[in-house]
Amino acid sequence: MALLEIRDVVKTFGDFTAVNHVSLAVEAGEFFTLLGPSGCGKTTLLRMLAGFEQPDSGEILLDGKNMAGVPPEKRPVHTVFQSYALFPHMTVAQNIAFPLKMAGVASAEIPKRVDEVLEDVRLQQFARRYPHELSGGQRQRVAIARALVNRPRLLLLDEPLSALDAKLREQMQIELINLQKEVGITFVYVTHDQGEALALSHRIAVMSQGQVEQLDAPETIYSYPKSRFVADFIGQCNLLDATITEVQPGRMKVEIEGVGTAEALPVAGAQVGGKGTLTLRPEKIKLGATLPQGNADEVHFKGRVHDCLYLGDVTIYIVELDNGTLVETMLPNSGSGKAKFFDDNDLVELAWRFDAGHFVLA
Amino acid sequence: MKSKSLAKWLISGPPLLYLLLFFAIPSLIMAFAAFRFPGDYGGLMPLTTANPDTGATELLINFGNWRDFLTLENFQRFFDEPIYFELFVKSFWYAGLTTVICIVLAYPLAWLIARSPRKTRDLLVLLVILPFWSNFLIRVYAWMIILGPQSYFSRALNSVLAVFGVEPVSLLFSQFAVIVGLVYVHLPFMVLPLYANLEKHDMALLDAAQDLGANAWQRFWKVTWPLSLPGVWAGTALVFIPALGMFAIPDLLGGTNSMMIGNLIKQQYLDSRDWPFGSVLSIMLTFTVLLLAALAAWAGSRGKDKR
């Protein structure tokens, strides 16, 4: 039995449907992420898990128990809030002791439990500080420690890293992964940052307009997006409108609008004449001044560099094909002695394998 | 740099001068008066006189013999007669009770205003300060009418009491009327600082407390109340100190037994014309309030260290 089960949950605010018939299950010990743009319903879903909102219809089951009507303070679920919401009038130790006191843990045991969790988040020497005396990253860790200390069945994290700068965020991501492994508590993590979701999660539910678009492991979501929305939202992606012209076992041919004929892996339900989108990640496209011809598994196109974005480690090249279509691709700047390989208006060749892209039926 | 400090003095000069002239100097005169003898016909025993022949001012005293014009008798009187101490205690009790009632009444109101939509909020704050638009004495006289024996309120109350076989009560000219008046006049001074404080509270903290297992009662006492203490203290200062020195309300609404320290001070200055003793009472009042404030500050800082 799954630890958390969400069954056909609907939540509306006036005319706006925030969560629209969502069903999903989260296993014990999982790092589960709700990913989507703002307004997609992920935060509303999280607030329903915490108990701050009640679903209009559908059920939320935790350990098989229906949570309907159970107020937040009675749920074995704690939340790390986006703003951290640390109590400013309490020290770090008092903040962390708060849920233990509320749960009626024996006062003799509280300091021991607080010390343990402070050690987990490496903040032992800050126990007597007040929140305003801490840095952003330290506050973040206190918020996590406070939510973890009473060993909730479920830890909810609402965009917890969004207030940190990029470098600290990366460091906190690693700490979060390790912490989750260490404590073994199930995490439900809400974010709009696809990079964060890919890096942290065991499974991701990509949400859009109140619905789950795709629920899969990060690699599957990235490599085999089920819809144009998912392909577009997760990472950079060329979205090429195409029509299926031939279907064979293991291989199909598509006519890409403004590009030409290419081969692709067949997808379930593919039929000749079927329209859809070929999703092609920039890093799957080969780029060179000249590329070896004659590989039957590859398609070739010629073009010229339209724009380059130099990012330091890699350069992103927007290549204009002969017929005017723009394709995004990238190359690591690994050529010794060269800052980057091409400049604007350089003539280049593109190639990709038939299984590099993923076709999504419209 | 120089012109900047000049501007600072120019800006802060007028209020400083005003306070110096009308607060600091009178206070010093009063402190001096507390150690002097009363005059034969009230006021203070004169230190100088006008020479009837020349009209020139002449000193009546010799500064070497300070015992001729300085005395501790006035303080002696204050400490010898227990009635003054009792009056102090009673005044502190009235002011304290008024403050507590004001906190209890103002807190929910301030919370309600702070949680209202922006537009409603401004309107509600306006309503709280609306009574200031009419004269203080008129508002107190209005209470005389409301609490008077012929008012609908008194008659309704007494007929209800009669049903239970209770003797009719007289509301006006009682301690009850004084407390009602004190609370009524000072309530806005508690609501406004509390509102200003509560309005700034981060609602996410209450969500967090609830999420971490606190019920409504615990959320209030563990989060909202401690964070609102600066507002409570500000309101307490604005209510307790003026209530302590109030004389108009006990004069108008109180009976013979509801006199406060303010009435006694007024009586000494205006009716008995015993300025030295009036000064002693004023100084003792100021001193006690300062002592209490210092104690509160000390207790507050100690509490913080402990935390």
Overall domain count for chain B: 1
The whole-number pLDDT of residue A205 equals: 96
Is residue A203 located within the same domain as residue A254?
no
Task: Find the domain containing A290 and state its range.
Answer: 236-361
Mean pLDDT by 10 residues, chain B (307 residues): 81 92 92 89 82 80 78 90 91 95 96 93 92 90 90 90 87 90 94 95 95 95 95 92 90 85 90 91 91 85 58
* CB-CB contact of A138 with A123 (8 Å): yes
From the list A52, A73, A150, the residue facing B214 with the nearest CB is A73
Overall domain count for chain A: 2
Domain boundary among A208, A229, A250: A229
The whole-number pLDDT of residue B204 equals: 94
B167 occurs within a structural domain: yes
Per CB-CB distance under 8 Å, the chain B contacts of A48 are: none
The whole-number pLDDT of residue B307 equals: 44
B61 occurs within a structural domain: no
Domain CATH code at residue A241: 2.40.50.100
Backbone angles phi, psi at A85, to 5 degrees: 50, 45
| pTM for this predicted structure | 0.82
The whole-number pLDDT of residue A325 equals: 86
Is residue A243 located within the same domain as residue A111?
no
Interface of A with B in 25-64 (CB under 8 A): 50-52
Please choose, from the candidates B78, B38, B27, B42, the residue with its C-alpha nearest in 3D space to the C-alpha of residue B261.
B78
B2 occurs within a structural domain: no
From the list A81, A98, A150, the residue facing B204 with the nearest CB is A81
Domain CATH code at residue A109: 3.40.50.300
Is residue A80 located within the same domain as residue A177?
yes
Domain CATH code at residue B109: 1.10.3720.10
Q: Tell the residue number behind the tokens 């607080």, with chain if given.
A: A114
Residue of A nearest to B304 (CA): A89
Domain boundary among A229, A258, A281: A229
Distance CA A51, CA A53 (A): 5
B300 occurs within a structural domain: yes
The reply to whether residue A99 touches residue B213, judged by beta carbons under 8 angstroms, is yes
Is residue A259 located within the same domain as residue A221?
no
B96 occurs within a structural domain: yes
AA letter at A175:
E
Is residue A70 located within the same domain as residue A110?
yes
Is residue A181 located within the same domain as residue A80?
yes
Is residue A201 located within the same domain as residue A262?
no
Is residue A171 located within the same domain as residue A274?
no
The whole-number pLDDT of residue B306 equals: 46
The reply to whether residue B207 touches residue A94, judged by beta carbons under 8 angstroms, is no
Backbone angles phi, psi at A56, to 5 degrees: -70, -40
Is residue A123 located within the same domain as residue A270?
no
Distance CA A359, CA B65 (A): 112
Task: Find the domain containing B164 and state its range.
Answer: 73-306
Is residue A47 located within the same domain as residue A151?
yes
Mean pLDDT by 10 residues, chain A (362 residues): 93 94 95 94 95 95 94 95 95 96 94 94 93 93 95 94 87 91 94 93 95 95 92 90 89 87 86 90 90 84 90 90 87 78 89 89 84
Give the residue numbers in B contacting A (CB under 8 Å), as ranges. Answer: 202, 204-205, 207-215, 218, 222-223, 226-227, 307
3-state helix, strand, coil in chain A (%, to 5): 25, 35, 40
